[in-house]
Amino acid sequence: MEVLEAIFNRRSIRQYSAREIPENMLVTIIKAGMYAPSAVNKQPWHFIVFRNRETMKKIMAFHPNASMLGNANAAILICWDENLQHDMGYGPVDCSAATQNMLLAAHSLGLGSVWIGIYPRIQRMDSIHSLFELPHHIKPLAIISLGYPAEKKSMPMRFNQDRIHFEKW
């Protein structure tokens, strides 16, 4: 799959088949995340892969936009390490780049995915922190739900020439 094709055609997929995702595909997706740019190349990310149904149910209980975990085959929690980020505020930026790489990698592998936001919602961050027993200096950014797609979405028109400015506003 060409890069631009992946960017233009990737959609948030919330319905998945029961087919299991092989572990090597999950590792490939995380590897793609680790190849994202980061401030001063600090790479402050950590990833937790989980498939446990009870964990997914607990997340759905406190997160109003996480219902797709109900039929996801796997999910990945993306976190940043405050001790590794370049400076205050760079961890979320770096991990957002990693998250986008992972979404595109999943799509290129034939998987559906959704970015489930955790940061900057304090209640969501605290709940994830507790659920996954994260050390104090590890902060959750997002969860990616994953599965083989059981739905297909077409490419919407998102290009808006009015949002492009050259040289100045």
CATH classification at residue 116: 3.40.109.10
Please give the tally of structural domains in the chain: 1
Q: Residue 105 sits in which domain range? A: 19-150
What is the tens place of the pLDDT at every residue in 55-109?
999 999 999 999 999 999 999 999 999 999 999 999 999 999 999 999 999 999 9
pTM, entire model: 0.97
* Averaged pLDDT for residues 13-30: 98
CA atoms within 13 A on the CB side of 124: 18
pLDDT > 90: what percent of the chain? 99
CA 111/CA 44 separation, integer angstroms: 26
Which is nearest to 118 in space by CA: 136, 96, 103? 96
* Residue 1, pLDDT above cutoff 90: no
Q: Give residues with Cβ within 8 angstroms of 31, minimum separation 6.
A: 105
41 found inside a domain: yes
